[in-house]
Every structure is written in C-alpha cells, then in structure tokens.
Amino acid sequence: MSTENQNTSFQLTKELTQEVIAYIENQNDVALQELLQEFHYADIAEILDEVDLEQAIYVIKLLDSETTSEILMEVDEDVREKILKQLSAKEIAEEIGELDTDDAADILAELSEERQEQVISQIEDLEHKAEIQELLAYDEDTAGGLMAKELVRVYEDWTVEQCITEIRTQAEDVKRVHSIYVVNNQDQLIGRLSLKDLVTAKSKQKITEIYISNVDSVYVNEDSEDVAKVMAKYDLEAIPVIDHNKILLGRITIDDIVDVIREEADKDYQMAAGISQDVEADDSILKLTKARLPWLLIGMFGGLGAASIIEQFNGSMGDFIVLLSFVPLIQATAGNVGVQSSAIMVQGLANGTIDGNILNQLFKEFLLGLVNGVAIACIALLVTHFVFGTPYIVSITIGIALISVIVMAALIGTFIPIFLDKRGIDPAVATGPFITTSNDVFGILIYFLIAKCILGF
C-alpha cells in the first residue's frame, strides 16, 4: 500500500503551482514525477490549467500516457486545444489509445477533419479504431454521442460460470461494470444481470434463468437531455444504447450525464443572463465581448425603439411631462415580470411539469399578473400621490398602466417560451435580454397609450 489515504483535501495553492513550475524549469524530472504521483489526474489538470503552455506540455510529455490521457480530458477546453496543437498525430493517437472510446471520440471531435484522419490512421488497436470511428459519426448531442463502446455483454445461453470467466476478460477494458447486458444470438438486448446477482448466484445456473428482462434503454439517436431525464427519473447509473432493431450498441454512464446536466444548467443560466456563448470568468476579453456584445446590441436597439416611442408622445404631452419620470418604473416592472414568467416556463418545460395546454397556462399567468399588478399599482399610486405629490389623475394613470403592463409582460413571458418549444426551438433563448427588451418597448408603448386615453393629450 504505497499511496496515502486520499481525502478530498486537494487545494490548488500558489505554493504548489510554484513548486511544479520550479521543477519544470530546473528539468528536475524525478522530483516532478514523484510530486505529481500523489495527485489524482483531475488535480494535475487543475495545476496545468494554471501554468504556461510550454510548461503544461513538458508535464504531458514527461508522464506516461495512461495518466496524461486522463489529464487531457480534464483540462480546460482551450488549454487542451493548445496542447493538442503541439503534439504530433502519433502522440495524440497514443493518448487516445489509453482512453475509453467515448472520451477518445470527444477529443478527436475537437480536431480539424484533416488532423482527425491523421490521428486515426496512427491508432494501432484496430478494434478500438473502428469503435472510435463509429462513435465519431453520431451527433454529439445524442445518446450515440455520449455512449462508450466499453461494456460487458453475455449471451442468454451461457452458464454463470462461463459468464464469470468471460466477464474477467471483458472487464479488463471496462472501468466500472455497473450492469451486465444480456443479448440473444442476434446481439439484441433482452435483459440485464446485476453484478450483485451474479456474485450471489450458483455457478451451474443458466443466464436465461437468472437474468432480469426488465431493462431500460435509450435509442442511439435520442437527445442527450432526454437521456439525462430518463436516467435521473429512474435513478440509473448506466443505461444501454440500442438501435431501432434493438441491437446493443453501447452504454452511457451517469458521470457523463452529470456533465450534461451541468452544461445544460450553465447554458440556460447564461442565456437568461444574456451571454450567448459558453464563457468563463477567466476567458479572454475578446471571447467575453463576443459572448456579451450581441445581447447588449439587442438591448440598445430596444432602448432606441423606446426613445422613438417617447419622442412620438413627447410633443403632445404638455402638462403631463411628469409622466416621463415614471418611464423607468414601467420599464423595470415590465422587464422583471417578463423574466420571472419566462424563467418559470423554461424550467417547467425542461422538467415536464407543464401539461402543454397553452390556454390554461396563459389564463393562470393572466390571473397571476392581475394579482401582482393590483398590488404593485396600489403601492405605486399611494407613493406617487402622497410622497411625490403627483396629481391624482396621473397617479391613477400610472397605476392602471402598471397593471396592464404587468399582465402583458406575464403573457408575453409565458407565450414566447411555449411557442418556441412547440416549434422545436430551445425556449431558453427567449429569456434574458430578449424578453426584457421586448417587454420594455411594449411596456412603454402601452403606458403612453393608456396615458393618452385617460389624460386626453
């Protein structure tokens, strides 16, 4: 037992990074290897995210490919891209040779097509190569794009004894076994065996007698988010992937699903915040600008639209110029309500808690808008009249406008996500600046129209 009991105490400190850099600079390979040996590859990846590119490549070339292939999977995508550029096709092929087929295909997918071919031609293990090529053909957002070819399969006519011998061989390639999939002679999935059942079964028994025919599975072209939903709903840790003839093609494990859930949540969150690409706080200013500026432009044109509406009414307003002071109130309220409604819809559509009846949902939001609207309007009416001294008729106008704007914003915020979802577009694009901007403009328009009707300017 050489390694220490490893607790979750890994903390990336400046001292540690400095130590690694010092060893690299002094080319003290022995000390470096000894130091890094203590760490999990995910921890080494965190260190490499912090050091310079040349230093990272030095470490990658120093360690054995079994470790570095896993490190490569864990480093930031842009760091990986840079490292891969510095490696030869043969070196990449060696790294990929160590990885499971799903990870290997993911890394290959990040390369240009030309380079992909160069690397693939260098993979020595022909079976591994064929499997990776098969996986590369699937869309990355489907079950096929998530699955690995590594799994343990047994035939229904085997005995438990035969099974165990076979599993010993097959399991060498499979990091975590989870389930043993039972297939018939046409390689169609017909059931599963739990490892636990196998351990506790008698060795002469036939698989047909002990297998469980009740097995969840997903089709290879199923959307990865749907796979995540199924696995979360049924608390599955692995799920087999089949084609439409029920042929067993691969399996998906829960760790990949955790990544799908996280990425999906991050994406929705960023969309709601008006960030259009997957960016992180430590990305470059250029990349961050690309992700942020488009939404700011939408907001800006919305603001200019609002300005031209105000210009339209400005001339005729006369004594009621005070109405302009309350534009921010109308705008903020419309924006907030719209974001609330759309966020609830987007989540509801994602979780399947919305039954799809648009009219019911709109009616409910109408009532909700009315309740919130009346509450907000009453307070605003009292504050504007008694604190600001706004004339009564103007305060009433503001109140009525607030109710109308809140109801309208709630309806728009509800309708647009449902509409997009029905058309097969991710409803999350309707959140954030998009909904805020359209509600701003509509809200201000409604405000002045109502004011014009009531005050008669």
Return the residues of window 38-97 that contact its own copies according to CB under 8 A: 40, 42
Compare residues 62 and 327 and give the one whose CB is closer to its own copies.
Answer: 327
Contacts (CB under 8 A) with its own copies, residues 136-165: 164
Q: Mark 334-363 with x for binding to its own copies (rule: CB under 8 A) and - for no binding.
A: -xxx-xx-xxxx-xx--x-xxx-----x--
Q: How far is the CB of 330 from its own copies (least distance, A)?
A: 7
Compare residues 42 and 425 and give the one whose CB is closer to its own copies.
Answer: 42
- From the list 92-100, 121-129, 130-138, 191-199, the region that binds its own copies by CB under 8 A is 191-199
Within 13 Å, how many C-alpha atoms sit on residue 314's CB side?
10
- Find the binder of its own copies among 132, 330, 407, 412 (CB under 8 A): 330
* CA distance linking residue 265 with residue 269, whole number of Å: 6
Is 240 in a helix, a strand, or coil? Answer: strand
Closest to 16 measured CA to CA, from 40, 50, 42: 50
Side chain identity at residue 228, one-letter code: A
* Strand ranges of the sheet holding 248-253, from the earlier edge strand across to the other edge: 218-219, 238-242, 248-253
Q: How far is the CB of 117 from its own copies (least distance, A)?
A: 30
* CA distance linking residue 449 with residue 456, whole number of Å: 10
- Find the binder of its own copies among 48, 430, 444, 450 (CB under 8 A): 444
Contacts (CB under 8 A) with its own copies, residues 195-234: 195-196, 198-200, 211, 213-218, 222, 226, 230-234
Residue 191: Cβ-neighbour burial (10 angstroms; 0-12, 13-18, 19+): buried
Q: Other CB atoms closer than 10 Å to residue 444's CB: what's the count?
A: 23
Contacts (CB under 8 A) with its own copies, residues 239-298: 246, 254-255, 257-259, 261-262, 265-266, 268-270, 272-275, 279-282, 285, 288-289, 292-293, 295-297
- Residues forming a β-bridge with 402: none
176 binds its own copies (CB under 8 A): yes
357: phi > 0 → left, psi -120 to 50 → alpha, else beta; which? Answer: beta
* CA distance linking residue 145 with residue 152, whole number of Å: 19
425 binds its own copies (CB under 8 A): no
382 binds its own copies (CB under 8 A): no
Instruction: List, in order, residues 6 or more apart from 17 with CB less than 8 Å away.
Output: 47, 50, 51
- Find the binder of its own copies among 436, 442, 448, 451 (CB under 8 A): 436
Compare residues 48 and 119 and give the one whose CB is closer to its own copies.
Answer: 48
Q: How far is the CB of 230 from its own copies (least distance, A)?
A: 5
* Count of residues touching its own copies (by CB under 8 A): 127
Q: How far is the CB of 397 from its own copies (least distance, A)?
A: 14
Compare residues 328 and 424 and give the one whose CB is closer to its own copies.
Answer: 328
* CA distance linking residue 54 with residue 345, whole number of Å: 47
Q: How far is the CB of 31 from its own copies (least distance, A)?
A: 21
Closest to 241 measured CA to CA, from 259, 256, 258, 262: 256
Contacts (CB under 8 A) with its own copies, residues 384-403: 384, 388
